[in-house]
Amino acid sequence: TVVSIAGPLDPYTAEQLQLNGLLRRAIRIMSWSVRRRARQKQCHYRYVFMRPDGKQLAHLGELLQTGKLQPLVDKVYPFAQTKEAFAYAETGHASGKVIIALA
């Protein structure tokens, strides 16, 4: 499953939020491309609402440690190259997360 906190809502999430039919149809159309790409990789796409919450972050940490959550990392930059990392991220060509390593 591909989980996003930045992409378009998916039809399942729209239904869970009890959005009206017109909005749900619009969301289905807006998310079609990303859902299709996920299907091509034999994945499911889901949008997740996140909030700054220690309990949620701890749960995400557990998922990472057990391998149930696998972030897609494009590039890792050392802290000294922070400016280059931001420049790369702003190009829109990153195919995953751009990481700045502190150590």
57-71 pLDDT, tens digit per residue, is: 898 889 889 998 888
pTM higher than 0.85: no
Please check the confidence at residue 53 and state whether its pLDDT lies above 90. Answer: no
Report the distance separating Cα 1 and Cα 12, nearest Å: 13
pLDDT at 1: 62
